[in-house]
Chain A
Amino acid sequence: MASWWEKITAWLTGNTAKETATAAVPLQGYASDLTYFQELFRHAPDFTVREFRLGVDGTKMAALYLRSLADEARIAAEVILPLSGITALVDPTPRGAGVNTVRNRLACGTITEVDTRDDALNRLLLGEAIVLTEGLKAALAVDARAYRGRSLTPPEIETTVFGPKLAFVEDCELNLSLVRQQIRTPALRIETFTLGKRNPRRLLMLYIDGLATEDTVTQLRSKLESIDVSGLLQTNYLTSLLGVTPWSPFPQAMQTERPDRVSGNLLEGRIALLLDGSPEALILPMGFSDLFQSPVDYYDHYLLTTLQRALRALAFLIATTLPALYVAIITYNYEVLPTDLLFAVATARAGIPFPPVIESVLMVVLVDILQEGTLRIPSKIGQTVGVVGGIVLGQAVILARLVSPLLVIVIAFSVICSFAAPDYRLVGLTRLLRYVLMVAAGAISGIGIGAVWTAILIHMASLEVLGVAYLRPFAPLRLSSLSDFVFRKPYHGLSSQTQRIQGE
């Protein structure tokens, strides 16, 4: 994306963005292109050029690749060895004839003709080998990428008792094969994009033709095509680039490390994005209720799943609002408590020097810092810190009469509830809302809680992701779609899954 200074200078000089953009330079010929790439990668020790000549006419050829990304053994066996067997190019004069001769001899699966230097460079950086031939203006890009990532492992965040035990890794192709293993249909459409000008990354857009709506696919495609960034490292970057409301703290795209979750959502008419180098897939469009769904929902009994979903929603409400309710009731609205409970609360709070709002915020800050600390501590001593922080510190603050025991129960319960969410990003959102609600309750009692929740509802009602309402299927209400949101009907009772997304 152009910086503000570039924009100002472009405006002052009268150059539009299109005019300042450099045009793609076509390949210039063997010698010129070879020198260009050698010059470009003169500081890259992994840049390799394998030059050789054809047997009879002595035509020069070269295979260019980055050793760190490409598989040298494959290049030797599938590119250099077969090409060495060509005695001469049949007829280099008519355009394409020579290229076809070379292409026909290559033993690779994916071969692409490349016309411009930019395209060749992008492919080189993605791990492909570029074959230059003397006398030809076009080059061939050969997919000989090496996989140098970790092996497949079970999911670490979205763990389940039942179901597949494989998670995505950093390689896009491998991730695609994991999805393919579950979606075996020719209707699975895969579109490839290269994102990032300085640091190109391959992105795959997956959807099932006939299930995903054409409108949603077109919208997402145009959004992806319009992304203008220097580089993308993780799918998280994409969420803010694709989000309709980037400033919103509410997650607007599902992020998952599970291929089965991607497959399930593809079958529901959604679109998945796989980015090379990222072990998570993005799924769009999503709604707020999707944050409460877990892959395990489909591996358990439907009654149990329905109960679990209700508990998750209740846990979210408790996690965000319970500390704020404590503040509001203790500070302003103690009349709502029955007399016996009121006496118990008053006894517990006797001698506490802080007002409830300060007491609560202090306690939540303490727990949040403890949580942040344990996240970054090596796992072997993490448990110890958890015990010291949770039990020892908790006991100490009560004995020192800094907070009431009732508040410790409220905060501890609220924090535990926040982890009931299947989507980890909901944990962060819960923490954020908890602070806002507590401060609002401390300022103007329960009216503050009501006002904040009203603002949240208005915000969620105004959100749309790729034209789909964020609050669906509650607003707009789709009774048929509720069968797999609040409740989970048995499989034979589930309505057409695609209705859920296409309904709007």
Chain B
Amino acid sequence: MHTRVCVTGFQHGMLIVGALIANGIFSLPRVAAEEAGRSAWVAVAGAGFAVLLVALLSNRLASLFPGEDPAGWSTKLMGPLLGRIWLLLYLVKSCFFTILTMRIFAAIITNRMLTHTPSTVFATIILVLSVLATLAGISGLARFAEVSVMLWLPLLTLLAVPLLGGHLYHLRPVFGDADISGFLAGAKAAAYSYAGFDILLFSYPHLQKPRESIRAVLWSVGLVTAVYTLTTVAGIAFFGLDHLTRLLVPTLVMLSIAETSVIERFDSLALFMWIGMVVVTSGTQLYMGTRLIQGLLPRASFKRTAVFLGSFLLIASWGETPLRELIALADLFGTFDLSFVTLSAVILLPLGLLAARGRRLG
């Protein structure tokens, strides 16, 4: 595969941040608190740490195949049959993630803002924008992620308002009251919010300076973990555990609390702008899906494949699904995603190291 060196270390990190932060943040405080109680924020931080370890393993795996992404190295590493099966599984995962991302956001808009408009309208818009982002290639996608994250992530500073207005006694005891199983369940529930970091496998071959990758992984996953942890702390502090677990998308409710003399509710404005972040996430997944199809069908044209995949996903996910069901589905998917990426990294890394050693010796 011909790779164009065009992604900076900063863009690599921004791609990871953009791929991680989309819809998960809206329901994260609730899903984590339901399982881990007051320890939810510790569980979220712990999940972030686990994700960081897997991301570092994935980064090492990517570094073994300079100039190639999984579409290129999977069949070389695992053989044609196993490699294709793995690519197919990976493709299904990426497609499902794209569908979930666009569907959840569309359902949130229909649920909270434009109740008479079918969510499919918004899902279509997100998918069209994702296809456009994919067609821009990895360099365009990286620039888009960079600008989007810099523009929209500061919106989350609005969460400081409920954080400051919260009650400290809601947070006591500081590390919560969950046992180890509750803590692990909370971390597992947070997995969906951390899905998507494996974009690093696809952007690594395009890095101008591959040695900057580790630093990018560290700060990007660290930043997302910090944002998620603070969001969860804000949710618990402001609503208290009982109230929090009754809210479907508590982060949006928290955003509606920030108020100025000109704007009374920020949740609507936040949703207007957050579409950019959602498109970064679904765009990266669509890009990965397109490259994976190219791994399966090497002669497939990138642009046509991206358009075809986008159209297919839209038709495949046509219809209305309640938001609560989608979020429940996302929780299941998050566990699968993290397991798949972790297992892939743990199994393929030794194989890759052996292959690299073989290449060096022979």
Question: Which residues from chain A sit less than 8 Å from chain B, CB to CB?
Answer: 328, 332-333, 335-339, 341, 444-447, 449-451, 453-455, 457-459, 461-462, 469, 471, 474-477
Contact = CB atoms under 8 A, between A and B. Distances in A.
Interface in B249-279: 261-266, 268-269, 271-276, 279
A462 B11 contact: no
A245 to B, nearest CB: 11
Contacts of B139: 469
Q: In terms of DSSP, what is the predominant structure of the interface of chain B?
A: helix
Interface residues of B, number: 41
Contacts of A454: 129, 148, 275-276, 279
A462 B136 CA distance: 5
Contact of B147 (A338, A444, A449, A471): A471
A447 B135 contact: no
A454 B129 CA distance: 8
A447 B144 contact: no
B225 interface: no
B133 A458 contact: yes
A450 B11 CA distance: 22
A447 B261 CA distance: 23
6 contacts: A335-B264, A454-B279, A458-B279, A461-B140, A475-B147, A477-B8
B114 A447 contact: yes
A453 B113 CA distance: 19
Given A447-B109, A450-B274, A474-B150, A336 B265 contact: yes
B269 to A, nearest CB: 6
Main secondary structure of the interface of A (DSSP, over half): helix
B157 interface: no
B268 A333 contact: yes
Nearest to B121: A444
Interface of B: 8, 10-11, 109, 113-114, 117, 121-122, 125, 129, 132-133, 135-137, 139-144, 146-148, 150, 261-266, 268-269, 271-276, 279
Contact of B117 (A341, A444, A455): A444
Given A332-B113, A458-B279, A462-B136, 8 more contacts: A333-B113, A335-B268, A336-B263, A447-B122, A449-B272, A455-B129, A462-B140, A474-B147
A462 B268 CA distance: 29
B147 A455 contact: no
B265 A447 contact: no
Contact of B132 (A332, A337, A453, A455): A455
Contacts of A476: 8, 10-11, 142-143, 146
B210 to A, nearest CB: 16
Contacts of B147: 457, 461, 471, 474-475
- Report, nearest first, the 6 A-B pairs whose CB atoms are least far apart: A446-B272, A462-B136, A475-B143, A462-B140, A461-B143, A461-B144
A474 B151 CA distance: 11
B132 A451 contact: no
A333 B121 CA distance: 18
B30 to A, nearest CB: 23
Nearest to A475: B143
A447 B273 CA distance: 8
A458 B151 CA distance: 13
A319 B275 CA distance: 22
A458 B144 contact: yes
Contact of A457 (B117, B137, B144): B144
B272 A458 contact: no
